[in-house]
Amino acid sequence: MAVEPFDTVDLIRAKRDGGVLSTPQINWLVDAYTRGYVADEQMSAMTMAIFLNGMHRDEIRDLTLAMIATGERLNFDSLSKRTTDKHSTGGVGDKITLPLAPLVASFGVAVPQLSGRGLGHTGGTLDKLESIPGWRADLSNAEFFQQLEDVGAVICAAGSGLAPADKKLYALRDITGTVEAIPLIASSIMSKKIAEGTAALVLDVKFGGGAFLKDIEMSRELARTMTQLGDDAGVSTTAFLTNMNVPLGFAIGNANEVRESVEVLAGGGPADVIELTVTLAREMLAQAGITDADVEGALKNGQAMDTWRAMIRAQGGDPDAALPVAKETLVVTAPRSGTLVKQEALPFGIAAWRLGAGRARQQDPVQHAAGIDLHAKPGDTVTEGQPLFTLSADEPERFERALEALEDSWAVGDASELIDYGPLVAERID
């Protein structure tokens, strides 16, 4: 039996006391945990020590590269197109990947978007797309590369071979109160994105009430850490800090978010969804060397829609099929005339989850037709009795708990009481 080069307890003590782990120590720790030598309770102690004491930039880089080394790494050198990708830290009504990937790909750039499923109040891109009849998330490597070459855009599930250490470590963080540790968030996201092999990456880092990290300073630190990791690994990386205090767009759910995305691709849709889609598309294209693209024109003239339809068909979906519709709806109306002065993202995300749009456990199914459709946004003038939002679910008994989540989350008042939630795009970081 081989003798291990380090003792796990020594490394835990070093990090507990604010020490810096060396590259060989981190490489060994990640490998030993992946193969089961380091026990879950030991890695739990290590993640808590990291949560409390942080990590230096070199340590975060070493941790990220060590996690990449536990699995395969994709290579797009055989493609005739340059690759660029986007990652969002997730939020309420965040369906931007759906219109963004085909929009960028319509300019001849390959967008290999490996996405995930939702957990809790943030929706998953794959859950949304699976509301399209026939569409499938799982592709073979051959199908994946062929679609990138032929269509340009792929949104699919990441294979289990990419950074398997991250999957194991994420599950542990989820049950030990260490999810919010910025070194661990950054290495988790970037190990998968770097292993994915893209040449350029644009990060959409959310802040505010409906975001993973509420505080803009923490979001800024995360964005800076991830852009540094990308640059250290040779991936051209930029980040935007974007506002998640208010739901994004009017649709929160799965099928209804697909409908709203198609509206954007058809040249319409909500102003905030269009603004963020266009901002990220311009950056992704600039990273790929295209600086003169008429991004808005591609939404209005059908260019992006053509790529969307080709992308959906390539993965077995029918872009013309009817999307699921919920069996039951409940409309909430304005109690008085005035201005919608308040609309908080997180309670609306929780309410949609309770309606069946999300899952409490990874293995739970989602109800694709469940969700919330907003009919007004903060600053809009409303009249008494006017619909403010509609809840949709297959079981009417879900409405009560959804409404409980929405208590005090919205208000109609005088225009002078309007909450200033700030701009949608707050900052660019590179």
Q: Which residue has the tokens 């005090």?
A: 408
Q: Which helix (H) or strand (E) holds 401?
A: helix 398-405
Instruction: Let me know if 192 is a catalytic residue.
Output: yes
CA dihedral 271, 252, 259, 151 (to 10 degrees): 90
Q: What are the tokens at 411? A: 């208000």
Closest CA to 314 of 40, 105, 54: 105
Q: Which of 85, 94, 166, 373 is the catalytic position? A: 166
Three-state DSSP class for 392? strand
Q: Which of 15, 95, 173, 368 is the catalytic position? A: 173
Cα–Cα dist 27/43, whole Å: 14
CA distances from 425 to 107, 119, 168, 380 (A): 24, 25, 33, 20
Q: Which of 15, 86, 87, 167 is the catalytic position? A: 87
CB atoms under 10 Å from CB of 5, counted, come to 10
Q: Which residue stretches of 200-337 are H helix?
A: 216-232, 255-265, 271-287, 295-300, 303-314
Cα–Cα dist 327/209, whole Å: 30
Cα–Cα dist 54/48, whole Å: 10
Three-state DSSP class for 79? coil
Mark residue 356 as left, alpha or beta (left: phi above 0; alpha: psi -120 to 50; beta: remaining): left
Instruction: Let me know if 87 is a catalytic residue.
Output: yes
Cβ-in-10-Å burial (0-12, 13-18, 19+) of 40 comes to: middle
Instruction: At 108, give phi and psi (nearest 5°).
Output: 85, 20
Instruction: Let me know if 336 is a catalytic residue.
Output: no
Instruction: Let me know if 173 is a catalytic residue.
Output: yes
Closest CA to 125 of 91, 151, 83: 91
- Give me the sheet containing 410-413, strands edge to edge: 381-382, 338-343, 410-413
Q: Which of 106, 188, 261, 392 is the catalytic position? A: 188
Contact 370, 376 (CB under 8 A): no
The one-letter amino acid code at 12 reads I
Q: Which of 192, 193, 359, 398 is the catalytic position? A: 192
Instruction: Let me know if 377 is a catalytic residue.
Output: no
Any idea which residues carry the catalytic annotation? Answer: 87, 166, 173, 188, 192
